[in-house]
Structure 1
Amino acid sequence: MSCSDVSPFRFGIIADPQYAAIPPHAPMDRYYANSLAKVAEAIEVFNGWELSFVMTLGDIIDRSFRSFDDILPVYGKLRHEAFFLLGNHDFSVSAGHLSEVAARLGMPSPYYSFTRHGWRFIVLDGNEVSTFAPPEGHPHRALAAQMLAKLEEKGARNAHRWNAALSDVQFAWLGDEIAEAAAAGEKVIVMNHYPVHPPSEHGMWDSERIVALLASKANVVAYLNGHDHVGNYAKAGSCHFVNFKGVVDTESENAFAIVELHPERIEIRGFGREESRTLVY
C-alpha cells in the first residue's frame, strides 16, 4: 500500500532499543551498540508512511545518561512526532540524573495522555513505585521494597527488582482518563513499558488490578508494551494485550511495527522479527 492510498489512521511502534556503547551480551543475544543502526532503519521505513506519531515503549538506553546523547539525535531524522515512555533501563543512570530522565526525552511528565482522531492514548509510568526510579529516600522506594518482599514471600513469578508498580494516585488517574474518554466518545489505547497480561515473570507487581480495570471498560481496545523482549499476546475482556519484541535482541535482525486503526479492527504490520496481527474489536 502506498502513502497516496486513502489511509486508515496509523502510528509506529519501537520497543526496547536499550542502546549503550558497550560490547554485546552474547548469551542473552543483546547487541546494545547495534540499536543505533536498527532505530535509524526503523525511522527510514516510518518516514515512507503517513503516520500520526511514533511511540518508543521504553528502554531507549541500557545504561548511562550520556547514552541519550547518541540515540536521541537518530530520532531527529523522523518526520513524524516522536513520543516516549519510561522503561526500567532508562533509570540505569547515576542518582543525580534520575529526576532528569523524562525531561531529557522531551516528555511532558512521567505519565500523560493525548488524543488523535477520536482515540485517547494513555501513557503510563510503570516505574513509579520501584527500587530504582524514585530518588533515594523517596517513599515510593520504601513502598517498592515492601511490595517486592511480599511477592517474594508468596513465590510470585514477577517478584523481580526489574519490575515495578503504579502508585495509587497514577492508578486513579488511569481510571479517570478512561472515564473521561468514554464520556467524550473516545476509544482508548493504553501504553506502558511493562506487560500486565498474560501473567509472566516480567509483569508489573500490580498487574491484576490493571487488567481488571482495562478488561471491564468497553472503550479500552488495547494495551501495548515492551520489556519482555520475546513478545507476547493475550486478551482479557475485550482488551487486546500486545507485547512487542525488543530491538536490542539479535545482532542484525530488527523488530518494529506500524499499527493501523480501522473502525472495527487493529492491523499490526510487523517488520523484522515483529509479528503481524489482526485484532478485531
Structure 2
Amino acid sequence: MSSSVSPLFRFGIIADPQYAAIAPHAGMDRYYANSLAKVAEAIEIFNREDLSFVMTLGDVIDRSFASFDDILPVYEKLRHETLFLLGNHDFSVSSGHLSEVAERLGMPSPYYSFSRHGWRFVVLDGNEVSTFAPAEGHHHRTLAARMLAELQAKGARNAHPWNAALSDEQFAWLGDEITKATEAGEKVIVMNHYPVHPPSEHGMWDSERIVALLAAQDNVVAYLNGHDHAGNYGKAGACHFVNFKGVVDTERENAFAIVDVHADRIEIRGFGREESRTLLY
C-alpha cells in the first residue's frame, strides 16, 4: 500500500487557534496572541498543496468579538475554500454579539453539510444546547442548565459548563444527512468542535447517542473534532474518532494537518505537534 499513490482529494485541518490579544496563560501553556503567526504558517503550507478546502474545528478566538477582526484577515491569504464550525470560545463575546458569530465566520448556518468527490461532510453545531451560546432566555439555555445539573448530580466526568449538547432537532438532522448520503452512495465524515469518543471530560453531554448513531452506519468513516487540546483517538464500529491538537498550546510549536482521502484509507499528515495517522476503511 504505497502512500505515493495520489489521493482522491485532500483537505486541511486547523483546531483551536483561540486567538486573543492578551498575555499567555503559562499554567495552561496557552499563547493566545501567537496564534496569528501559527495560523499564517499553516496557511503557507496549505497554499503549496492542492486542497479541496480548509476546515477550522472551532475556537477561532478565545474571547471578544473584536478578536475576529485580527484573525480573520489572516485566513484571507488562504487560496482554498475556507470553512468554519463553531466552538465554545467563539461565543465568549458580549450577549449582543451571540447571534452574529456564525455570520461573522461566513458560515451558511450554525450547522450544515456539503459534498465533495462522492463524500458528504456533515458539520455540527455542538454548542446548540449550552449555557453560553443561546440567547438569554432561550429554551436551549434552560435545557442546558438542567442537563448539566443532572450530569453533575451523577458525577459525570464531562459535567462541565464548557461542554454542550445537540438539540433533538439537530440530532435528527444528522441522522437524515447520513441516510441521504447512503442513498447517494456517499461516504460520510462528521465534523464538530467537541469530542464524543473515547469518553472524556471534554465530551459532549449527549456523546452516547451520537456515538451509537455513527457506529451503527457502514458509510460513516470518521468524526473529526478539536476542543480537547491534548488530542485523542478512538474507534467505535467502523468509525474513526480523531481529536486534533490545539494551535493555541505552547509558545512556538504549531499543530495542524493535511488529510489525504484514498479509496481504502484516510492518511492524516500531522505538522508540528499533530500526529500522523492512517485510518483504514
| Deviation for aligned residue 1:7 | 3.4
Pair 1:251-2:241 in alignment? no
Q: TM-score, normalised by structure 2?
A: 0.98
Counterpart of 2:103 in structure 1 is 103
State the SS of the aligned residue for 1:34.
helix
| Deviation for aligned residue 1:43 | 0.1
What is the CA–CA distance in structure 2 between the aligned matches of 1:166 and 1:6, rounded to whole Å? 39
Which blocks of at least 5 consecutive residues in structure 2 are unaligned? none
What is the root-mean-square deviation in Å for CA atoms of aligned residues? 0.7
Runs of 4+ with deviation above 6 angstroms = none
Counterpart of 2:33 in structure 1 is 33
State the SS of the aligned residue for 1:78.
coil
Pair 1:7-2:2 in alignment? no
What is the CA–CA distance in structure 2 between the aligned matches of 1:216 and 1:54, rounded to whole Å? 28
Counterpart of 2:269 in structure 1 is 269
Q: Deviations over 1:2-26 (max 9, x none)?
A: xxx8732000000000000000000
Q: Deviations over 1:50-97 (max 9, x none)?
A: 000000000000000000000000000000000000000000000000
Amino acid at match of 2:145: A
What is the CA–CA distance in structure 2 between the aligned matches of 1:212 and 1:135, rounded to whole Å? 30
Corresponding pairs, count: 277
What is the CA–CA distance in structure 2 between the aligned matches of 1:68 and 1:266, rounded to whole Å? 32
Counterpart of 2:238 in structure 1 is 238
State the SS of the aligned residue for 1:180.
helix
Matches within 5 A, 1:79-158: 79-158=79-158
Q: Deviations over 1:244-268 (max 9, x none)?
A: 0000000000000000000000000
What is the CA–CA distance in structure 1 between the aligned matches of 2:5 and 2:18, rounded to whole Å? 35
Q: Percent identity?
A: 85
Q: TM-score, normalised by structure 1?
A: 0.98
Which blocks of at least 5 consecutive residues in structure 1 are unaligned? none
Counterpart of 2:20 in structure 1 is 20
Amino acid at match of 1:32: Y
What is the CA–CA distance in structure 1 between the aligned matches of 2:115 and 2:83, rounded to whole Å? 13
What is the CA–CA distance in structure 1 between the aligned matches of 2:67 and 2:173, rounded to whole Å? 31
